[in-house]
A = this chain, B = another copy of it.
């Protein structure tokens, strides 16, 4: 490709970006985030950008709720009920009716609750926990611990063939909805149905899908799910994770972390544990209120946003990025490991690239922020609430320059 044709590509793709941004029904949302024009932020699949509503809310939580009301805020500022209130704000984004999601603890801790809870529901006869072999590491480590503590066997299965690993011995399968490295979207309805056919339960990890695409937990009869809130939900660094337990399983959910916050009458201070009904049963100890209320404020940006519109824009963004990369980057220099088929794609593009670590450092220095995943992957996350098509074109263009300079 000559420089001349590249130049005309650029003009055409910039013009296309301009038109796509103009037609974008979510474009007004960008103003609700703190962004700087110098940076293209494509790492919202690791840490979402700051919603503009959060700083003022946090100042009030700290200075007035904690500083002036102090202990009274547990009731007067609604601190005590925040975990289930925040859960109900997350619920519609993952296709759950109210009363099934609770926020709190880390994803790892919630994976533990979900897996041990599922094993106990599955009963004694089922002695295997199946986990997808390409999982984000913490899920695998925690699954191994859950297996060890419940006397089960851990089975790692390739996610493409996970259905074949399910059988009469399976207690529960733990599957990532979207692979954190490749961005591959797994078949939630199909795997859930297959697990149920095998008489097993399934726990979905939604870290890379909550807030990025429709999940349909209720619609597809998912048993349990966990997810983080600091990626596409923009809850802030290390913001509380969430746990979903399907309503008709809640009365059988027997948590391995039965802290006092999950007691039917926590202030009765009884020495005997009696679990609360509903999503509250997934709580453990006193919730991290500052992080929880920052998350609650952050979730306000979702008011009136249909997750289907987010998905439409997400696919348009990743399509357009792949188009720009194909046009700008020297053939063979990078290879997309993100599926081309929409039905198999999350909301990120992962490019295999020689020297990926150094390439990402240079990209960041030039204002295009993605991240590097071991050993050779450049990850670019597309967060439809605040990433534009112009950002996307610029990212591909800078990437092309960086890899051209480096070769």
Binding site for B on A (CB under 8 A): 34, 36, 41, 43, 46-47, 49-50, 54-55, 58-59, 62-63, 65-68, 70-74, 79, 105-109, 112, 116, 133, 135-138, 140-142, 144-145, 149-150, 156, 181, 228, 230, 236-241, 255-261, 263, 267-271, 273, 284-292, 294, 364, 369, 371, 373-374
The 8 Å CB contact of A259, one of B55, B62, B70, B138, is B138
A263: chain B residues at CB < 8 Å are: 137, 141
Inter-chain contact B141/A290, CB cutoff 8 Å = no
9 contacting pairs across A/B (C-beta < 8 A)? A50-B66, A55-B63, A66-B236, A108-B260, A138-B259, A140-B271, A144-B273, A156-B271, A288-B288
Is the pair B145, A256 in contact by a Cβ cutoff of 8 Å?
yes
Indicate which residue in B36, B259, B270, B371 contacts A71 across the interface (CB closer than 8 Å): B371
A396 to B236, CA, bound (A): 44
- In the complex where A137-B271, A237-B79, A273-B144 touch, is A62 in contact with B46 (Cβ < 8 A)? no
Closest beta carbon of chain B to A364's beta carbon, Å: 8
Are the C-beta atoms of B285 and A107 separated by less than 8 Å? yes
**Given that A63-B55, A106-B284, A109-B105 are known contacts, is A47 also in contact with B70, CB under 8 Å in the complex?**
yes
Measured between beta carbons, the chain B residues less than 8 angstroms from A109 are 105, 109, 257, 259, 284-285
Best-surrounded residue of A54, A106, A263, A373 (most CB of chain B within 10 A): A106
Q: Is the CB of A269 within 8 A of B237?
A: no
Contacts of A138 in B (CB 8 A): 259-261, 285
Q: Determine which of B55, B145, B257, B369 lies in contact with A62 in the assembled complex, contact meaning CB atoms within 8 Å.
A: B55
A71-B58 contact given A237-B289, A286-B107, CB 8 Å threshold: no
In the complex, the answer to whether A228 meets B34 with C-beta atoms within 8 Å is no
A70-B369, A230-B286, A374-B267 are known contacts. Are A273 and B141 too (CB-CB below 8 A)? yes
Shortest CB-to-CB span from A287 to chain B, Å, is 5
A106 to B285, Cβ gap below 8 A?
yes
For A374, list chain B residues within 8 Å (CB): 267-269
Chain B residues within an 8 Å CB radius of A67: 34, 49-50, 55
Contact between A108 and B259, CB atoms less than 8 A apart = yes
Cα distance A288–B54 in the bound complex, in angstroms: 16
Measured between beta carbons, the chain B residues less than 8 angstroms from A71 are: 43, 46-47, 369, 371
Q: Tell whether, in the assembled complex, residue A259 and residue B106 are in contact, meaning their CB atoms are under 8 Å apart.
A: yes
| Inter-subunit contact B58/A141 (CB<8 Å) | no
Q: Is the CB of A145 within 8 A of B230?
A: no
**Closest 10 interchain pairs by CB?**
A106-B285, A108-B259, A108-B285, A237-B289, A138-B260, A50-B67, A288-B291, A34-B67, A141-B273, A238-B289
**Which residues of chain B are near A230, meaning CB under 8 Å?**
286
A41 near B62 (CB under 8 angstroms)? no
6 further contact pairs, Cβ within 8 A, besides A47-B71, A50-B62, A107-B286: A106-B285, A112-B257, A136-B269, A138-B260, A230-B286, A239-B288
A105 to B47 Cα, complex, angstroms: 20
- Taking a contact as CB atoms under 8 Å apart, the answer to whether A286 and B62 are in contact is no
* Interchain CB contact under 8 A, B105 and A106: yes
CA distance A125 to B363 in the complex (A): 57
> Within 8 Å CB of A107, what residues of B?
285-286
Contact of A70 among B41, B256, B291 (CB under 8 A): B41
Task: Choose from B62, B149, B238, B261 the contact partner of A292 (Cβ within 8 Å).
Answer: B238
Q: A137-B263, A137-B270, A149-B149 are in contact. Are A290 and B58 (CB under 8 A)?
A: yes
**Chain B residue contacts of A68, Cβ below 8 A:** 34, 36
Residues of B near A284 (CB, < 8 A) are 106, 108-109
